[in-house]
Amino acid sequence: MAKQGEAVPEGGSEAVVEDGSAGVGGEHADVAAMSYEQARDELVGLVARLENGQVGLEESMSLWQRGEVLATHCSQWLDRAEARITADD
């Protein structure tokens, strides 16, 4: 996953926007509308499929890319929740 300001290799599905968050575009645009729980549950399922080792290389790459988007979404959601909690202190 590219960090803030890093370029994504050609063919990569991630875009880094001004605030450093991963852009959710194209085939992963649905992730932006997911709740934390929905994204986490899908991510857990993807990890299980990858760990199973029964998917081909092409599908593994696709699952990995979606997993990166889901993980970023979850991380950003948790960061926002933490900021709200600490702002109330």
Note whether 32 and 46 are within 8 A (CB). Answer: no
Half-sphere exposure of 53 (CA within 13 A, CB side): 0
C-beta of residue 23 within 8 angstroms of C-beta of residue 16: yes
Q: In the prediction, which pLDDT does 75 show?
A: 98
Sketch the domain layout of the chain as residue ranges: 35-87
According to the model, what pLDDT value does residue 51 have? 96
Q: Identify the CA nearest to 46 among candidates 24, 33, 32, 28.
A: 28
Angle made by CA atoms 1, 13, 78, in degrees to the nearest 5? 50
Q: What is the mean pLDDT of each run of 10 residues along the chain (89 residues)?
A: 36 36 70 97 97 95 97 97 89
How much is the pLDDT for 88? 74
Q: Is the dihedral of CA 9, 12, 18, 19 positive or negative?
A: negative
Residue 2: per-residue pLDDT: 41
**pLDDT at 47 (0 to 100):** 97
pLDDT the model gives residue 25:
61
Note the pLDDT of residue 24. 53
